[in-house]
Amino acid sequence: MPFHEQDGLRYYTFDIFPKTIVQAIFTRQGGVSPYPQNALNVGGMVGDKIENVRTNRIRLFNALGLTPDSIHDVWQVHSADVIFADAPRPMEAEYKKADILLTDNPQVTLFMRFADCTPILLYDPKLKVIGLVHSGWLGTVRGAASTAIQSMQDRYGCLPADILAAIGPAIGPDHYEVGEKVISQTRKAFGPESENLFEQHGNRAHFNLWKANQVLLNNAGVQQVEISSICTACHPADWFSHRAENGKTGRFGALLAIQT
């Protein structure tokens, strides 16, 4: 059962991960924000009240028995930059810009926000290292997923063959029509492999973000990849979708922590 309910919140988990980590991708249900009501928005820059965002964030940490103070989050900018979250991020500290979070500290909960971009969760069960990646089309052509795997090797000594990876709810190839800019940059980044990443719908090209990120992970040596195959634009009751809601929407939260 990939969906679970707790304290009025509904969240998704992956089957690939053992119980030695806490993992969840929260739907928009069970919060205090508009969009249009009772929405669990965790985005601080989408016009919602900061008190709402804070209440929602505390709610989802509590639902999983995690302390809200354990959070390490970032200002997501569609980069392939890494932050090693060796400790929780102090609440008063300024946000750092990055789209990859890694840690081996069980006191840290990695946290990111999404509305169509691909959430990628990573776990090396041997060395107990976790990672969270935010990868939209730009993060994908910049190789954020590849950089995450390389950084797990360099910093913690992880072997790609040991790493379990999961690709979460994101805009699917059925809904993700793209223009020439995305197509040309994808061709540049992926070479001949890019041909398998587009679907033709009439005279329009649709991009398969799920598959593109799977290719990046596979090419980095990660073979164990689970894909949720859930399109955010197809299921507006569960997910915020930037594309489906014309940019006027919230952000859903994804988190990952090593079980203590």
| Shortest Cβ 232–Zn ion spacing (Å) | 7
Q: What is the CA radius of gyration of the chain?
A: 17
Of 7 and 174, nearer to Zn ion (C-beta) is 174
Rounding to the nearest 10 degrees, give the CA dihedral for residues 56, 98, 168, 196: 150
Within 10 Å of residue 183's Cβ, how many Cβ atoms?
15
Of 23 and 135, nearer to Zn ion (C-beta) is 135
Of 168 and 172, nearer to Zn ion (C-beta) is 172
| Shortest Cβ 40–Zn ion spacing (Å) | 21
**What ranges in 106-234 are assigned the alpha helix state H?**
137-141, 144-156, 180-190, 209-219
Nearest CA to 251 out of 34, 4, 40 is that of 40
| Shortest Cβ 174–Zn ion spacing (Å) | 4
Of 130 and 170, nearer to Zn ion (C-beta) is 170
| Shortest Cβ 175–Zn ion spacing (Å) | 4
Interface with Zn ion (CB under 5 A): 172, 174-175, 231, 233-234
Task: Report yes or no: 26 and 240 within 8 Å, Cβ to Cβ.
Answer: no
Within 10 Å of residue 94's Cβ, how many Cβ atoms?
7
In the chain the beta strands, taken as DSSP E runs, fall at 3-6, 9-12, 21-26, 29-33, 39, 71-72, 82-84, 100-103, 109-114, 118-124, 129-135, 164-167, 177-178, 198-201, 204-207, 224-227, 252-258
Residue closest to Zn ion (Cβ): 231
Of 128 and 235, nearer to Zn ion (C-beta) is 235
| Shortest Cβ 81–Zn ion spacing (Å) | 29
Of 74 and 231, nearer to Zn ion (C-beta) is 231
| Shortest Cβ 233–Zn ion spacing (Å) | 4
